[in-house]
Amino acid sequence: MASSDTVYLKIEQNVLVREPSVALKDIAKITSTNQPLINKLKTMKVYAFHTPANQSRKKKQAEVFSVMKIIELIGQEFPNVDIQNIGEKDFVLEYEPKQEPKWLLYLKTAVLCVLIFFGSAFTIMTFNNDVGVGEVFADFYQQVMGTESNGFTLLEICYSIGLFLGIMIFFNHVGHKKITHDPTPIQVEMRTYEKDVDSTFIENCGRKGTSNDVD
């Protein structure tokens, strides 16, 4: 192995694994001009989650790592390799043994949809009641048409259709299809939330000294 071998390492801020034994290929993307070296690095073990044999259900676990620790482990096995980190400086390694059964995911999704539907409907109704939309429409209809509104006119119909279309356009989602290729507001907020959670978890572990880092 030549002393000039350079390996580029990229690790995301949050890495999810399904097996307790973690190899370098499970957490990082690696590239180099030395393909045999890459093959060896990919199979290199970097961590192993503790999973008690007497535990019927494996629990989720999470550890915080510094990329310096990964570089140190690589250096111990391959001392002549130059490691260039182009990813995160610190990252969260999550161990989730297996995915939940599909029926449970469908059940959670159905319950969530029901909650969102009735919650949104209640919010819209209370908003309309607070600002007096019905009274505004009735007064406007009487001023324009000269007759009293029965509560079910073209104004109410257009308002209801416009409200529905506005929600669809704003959330950029109709069933499984997206109106545009841009990420939806929910996706943006979820990604922002995930980054904030990971950053907070990393900072807390760093302050407590529980992160996996070099000495």
Higher pLDDT, 198 or 153: 198
Say if CB 96 and CB 18 are below 8 A apart: yes
The pLDDT value recorded for residue 64 is 95
13, with CB counted inside 10 A (0-12, 13-18, 19+), is middle
The pLDDT value recorded for residue 4 is 66
Domain ranges, ordered by start, for the chain: 6-95, 102-207
Residue 141 has pLDDT above 90, yes or no: no
* pLDDT band with cut points at 50, 70 and 90 for residue 55: low
Mean pLDDT over the full length of the chain? 87
Q: What percent of the chain has pLDDT over 90?
A: 47
Residue type, 137: F
The pLDDT value recorded for residue 133 is 86
pLDDT digits (tens, 9 = 90+) for 151-160: 788 888 898 8
CA nearest to 183, candidates 193, 170, 194, 167: 170
The CATH number of domain 6-95 is 2.60.480.10: yes
pTM of structure: 0.71
